[in-house]
A and B are shown apart, each in its own frame.
Chain A
């Protein structure tokens, strides 16, 4: 790997109450790279992300984060209790005290400047995801860990947010570890895909993974079709059978 590693996980094992959640899982994230964790429900994706952040201790294995690296985290489904009167502006600065101007700038970067003074309970699910991303960006992160960043976002917003996230890697040069369900988007925008089902089923470049028998076994033709539809949408290539498109040079977003 040419660029510097930010996060290295080696042969991590974790069982929760005797139930094995992660078996011999290894991954690495380097600067400027997007690594996506995909897999069925209960595959241990979020757990792995939390292990990477040091929120849960693994039973065995090695977890290394670049010493002193600033980490931004976007947790899954954050709801602020209705009893707490909190504006978006106050919410975003809870982790990083900073000026209103900088918060407005960060919100503008993710396309949510208009909610700056709204109560945090009053914004939509999609706006909340953008606000969370802005809160993570305010930390000037070198490593971003995103747990299902586009859930609750409508379809158009999903593409937008994905473009934004993949743009971040270029603009800010940060490494991104992302948990996702949206196969079609993951396959088109990431550099490295890790297909997880308690152990690593397959991993590598999206094109490579999409052809892996283990991937097809997990996601079936449906998964392959998602990929095809996306390619159709973006590259104007036709595929009538729903099979994996051949010419997939997938670095489409810039």
Chain B
């Protein structure tokens, strides 16, 4: 097997592994559009990283946190629904990122690569970021599992039972930011949410416990990476979108399989 292909597979599997459990929480907490908004702001993070001459991944994590904070502040002044605010922030930050990059004449950025991913160009350094960030995110998520599940079911009940709601919510946002930063190279800013949500959604019908659903989501994500890369080589299609198409196909296939009826 070619080296670049091996790196692509390893990188894809790393992202799928972390995205599965995190994606299940995004589904349970109905935060799909929040994740999408953060991902859109990723390009601004890349630009920021270029200006400050730091690693683009760090720029993305930092920007995601800033934007999440901006959302919290905007939500305070009621009158506008959260989905409206999310729409504004997503496209404002994406456009701001594009404009900023245009100003940076000395910096050449592979725009298409950032928007749609360039999984076949993953370097060994990228692999370290993906696996390091991914394993870290999974570790933190495992530690947060019970309180996060409790506030997902009922925030006030969890608070009465002793969960520090705000820190847990903040930590979860940080985890999403980290996973977006590491997944960017694989499927790109515009498609990251799909890798978080589609495998988790596909896993729902076959899961009987929260942990089972998370594990199954990782498996589906990994399978989508393998299938997508294979299809991309076979038919010479763009790799990132092929992975997303494969995930969607697995989701559709799952719908067709009959399951034990639930009460």
Contacts and interface: CB of A to CB of B under 8 A. Distances in A.
Contacts of B210: 84-86, 90
B204 interface: yes
Given A80-B153, A86-B209, A97-B146, 15 more contacts: A50-B156, A53-B160, A54-B160, A55-B159, A73-B157, A75-B156, A81-B30, A83-B204, A85-B204, A85-B207, A85-B210, A94-B161, A118-B263, A119-B262, A119-B263
Nearest to B207: A85
B160 A55 contact: yes
B157 A75 contact: yes
Interface of B: 27-28, 30, 146, 149-150, 152-154, 156-162, 204, 207-210, 212-213, 262-263
A-B pairs with lowest CB-CB distance, top 6:
A95-B161, A122-B263, A73-B160, A94-B150, A84-B28, A85-B207
A111 B161 CA distance: 23
Contacts of B158: 94-95
Contacts of A73: 156-157, 160-161
Interface of A: 50, 53-55, 71-73, 75, 78, 80-81, 83-87, 90-91, 94-97, 118-119, 122, 135, 139, 145
Instruction: Find the residue from B146, B150, B161, B207 having the highest chain A CB count within 10 A.
Output: B161
Nearest to A96: B161
B154 A75 contact: yes
A119 B146 CA distance: 18
A165 B209 CA distance: 31
A95 B146 CA distance: 8
12 contacts: A55-B156, A71-B160, A73-B160, A75-B154, A78-B157, A80-B153, A84-B153, A85-B204, A86-B210, A95-B158, A97-B146, A119-B263
Contacts, number: 66
Contacts of A95: 150, 157-158, 161-162
Contacts of A78: 153-154, 157
Contacts of B149: 94
A85 B212 contact: yes
Contacts of A118: 263
A122 B262 CA distance: 8
Contacts of B28: 81, 83-84
Contacts of A97: 146
